[in-house]
A = this chain, B = another copy of it.
Amino acid sequence: MQLGQVIGSVVSTRKDERMRGHKLLIVAPLVANNGELVPKDTGSLVSADLVDAGRGDIVLIVGGSTAKTAIADPNVPIDACIIGIVDSVDL
A14 touches B64 (CB 8 A): no
Given known A-B contacts A14-B51, A60-B10, A67-B66, A83 and B77 have beta carbons under 8 A apart:
yes
Collect the chain B residues with CB atoms within 8 Å of residue A46's CB.
1-3, 60
Query: Interface residues, chain A, CB within 8 Å of chain B?
Result: 1-3, 7-16, 19, 24, 26, 28, 31-33, 40, 42-47, 50-52, 60, 62-70, 72, 74-81, 83-91
Q: How far is the CA of A43 from the CA of B51 in the complex (A)?
A: 25
Given known A-B contacts A1-B46, A40-B43, A47-B1, A77 and B86 have beta carbons under 8 A apart:
no
CB distance from A46 to the nearest CB of B (A): 4
A60 touches B1 (CB 8 A): no
